[in-house]
Structure formats: structure tokens, C-alpha cells
Amino acid sequence: MWLQWFDNQHNQPDSDSESIAWSRIVPFILLHLACLMVFWVPLTGFALLVCGLSYFVRMFAITGFYHRYFSHKSFKTSRLMQTIFAVIGATATQRGPLWWAAHHRHHHIHADTDADAHSPKHGFWRSHLGWFLQDKNFATQQERVKDLNQFPELRWIDRYDIIFPVLYIIFLFALGEILDAVFPTLNTSGLQLVVWGYVVSTVLLAHITYAINSLAHVFGSREYETGDNSRNNFILAILTLGEGWHNNHHCSPGSVRQGFRWWQIDISYYILWLMSKTGLIWDLKPPNKILLAKKKLRGAAV
């Protein structure tokens, strides 16, 4: 059974079944149970710092690259950079870049229809996490990511994505043990950094990411008619580094920027803009102003 946890092509489930893939989601369940380990390791300022940094860097990899780059091609970058951020994104334990991008592209085509796997119309829990636990949504929809399939390294990362969280756990454990030996005043350890830097950080990162599906199509304001129920939500925008401007995004999905107004904080965009100034990425796509004007709802703020 354990081979299917490391190789996504091993014993693939029935693609039409809506049942929960219980044998495959054991690591997901154990990850949540592992949060109880916070009662066995000390809570220190350094542990919280590592937790926060781990959350921030991996959230950016998900929002900036899994979403805006792999899913929407809102900018260009080198093969090396796309590989680096595919690996960092995989440590967030939200599957591989091809799987993520394929399902997200499907979402934009069928947003809030019966074919949308994580529309809130199916209920909160299915929208939040039930959809990706189902057998039918386990496989990567290869036909939707033909542009990404040309890169063998991305296919490998996508197939063996669980390897990268494991390597990240090993790194955090080693870092904690080294710091304990060299700087004992930090009061840290390998287990402490794994618990706060991976377990707690990953669970927070996961559920806040899922909330874009389950909450950002229910709570918030709408400025544009998009044919779905997407909403702009300030709180989610802060927590997800800009993804909460979801109505904006559904209006102009190819835009690298999702906060269209000066006060719509979009941290992922700010980082991507800085990266463009160093030449790490280029050809950032701006919002389509013609499309925005056409879809502007009457009475929405200017």
C-alpha cells in the first residue's frame, strides 16, 4: 500500500468513482493528527519564526508559481526557475504542479457549475477538501497540461511529489539538531522544527489555500460579472498573499496581478514584480483593461 503514497501512478484508482480514496489519504490524516505534537515540543519565538517563514515561502510558491505561472502562464521564466519553484511548491504537500494546474484550469472552464469539482454549491466540506480526496480527482488530467508535460523534470516532480515534503522534513530536523548543538540558547531541536516548521505550517497553509475554493465564492464583494460566484475577500487576500482578490482574478485570469487597486494588497505580485527587475522572470501580463471595463458591474466602486 505504501508505494502508492510515493508514486502517483502506482495502482491508480477508478477515475469515475466519487468514493474517498482512504488508502491514499493516510498521510494526509496523519499530518493533521501530528499537530497534537505541539504539546510535546516547546513553543518559542524561534519556532514561530520558522513556522511563519515556512508558511510564507511555500504560500508564495503556490500562489506565484503553481497558480499564476503553471496554471495561467501570467509571466515567463527559465526552465531552472520553474523547476526550483515546482520543488518548493511540492513541499507544501498540495500535490505536484501538473496535477494542481490541470485541476485549476478545469475549475476556470466550469466555475460554479455541476462540473466544477470544488464549487461551494456541492457543500462546504466537499468544496474545501472532500473533492481532492475522491478517487476520480486523484489522477492528473494530462490533456489539460500538454504545455507542461513537455518537461520531463516536471512530470517526475508531479509523479513523485511526496518525496519533497519528506526531504523538507529531514532538512528541518537536521537544522534543529545542528542549531541545538551550536546555539543551545535557542531552545530548539529537530523535532520542534519539524512540528512547527512543517506540520503546523503545512496544515495552516493547506486550509487557507482550500478556503479560496470554499469561501472566496461565498463571502466578499463583486466588482465584475464573471459568470460565476467569485468574490473579493480582504482577509483571504492577506492570508494567501493576494489570492483573495478572487473576483478580480476570475475577470482577468491571465493577469499576473490580482489586486487591481492600490489598496488591494497583493504580496505575491509585489514579489513577482521584484523578481522581474532582477531578470528571474519576465513578460508579466497586466490586467486586461478592455475586459475589466466590459465586465464592470453597475454601481461598483471606481
Q: How many CA atoms lie within 13 A of 168 on its CB side?
A: 25
* Residues forming beta bridges with residue 77, ordered by sequence position: 281
- In one-letter notation, the amino acid at residue 157 is I
Report yes or no on whether pTM surpasses 0.85: yes
Q: Which tens digits make up the pLDDT trace of 125-152?
A: 999 999 999 988 998 999 999 999 999 9
Confidence of residue 302 (pLDDT cuts 50, 70, 90): very low
DSSP string, the chain: -THHHH-TTTTPPPTT--SB-TTTSHHHHHHHHGGGGGGTS---HHHHHHHHHHHHHHHHIIIIIIIIIIIT--SEE-HHHHHHHHHHHHTTSS--HHHHHHHHHHHHHHTTSTT-TT-GGG-HHIIIIIHHHBGGGTS--GGG-HHHHT-HHHHHHHHTTTHHHHHHHHHHHHHHHHHHHH-GGG---HHHHIIIIIIIHHHHHHHHHHHHHHTTTTSSB--B--SS---B-HHHHHHTTSTTBHHHHHHSTT-S----STTS--HHHHHHHHHHHTTSEE-PPPP-HHHHHHHBPTT---
Q: Which tens digits make up the pLDDT trace of 28-43?
A: 999 999 999 999 999 9
- At residue 24, what are phi and psi to the nearest 5 degrees? -85, -25
Which of these, 211, 189, 144, lies nearest to 40 by C-alpha position? 189
| pLDDT of residue 10 exceeding 70 | no
Residue 261 grid coordinates: 487597486
Q: Which tens digits make up the pLDDT trace of 210-251?
A: 999 999 999 999 999 999 999 999 999 999 999 999 999 999
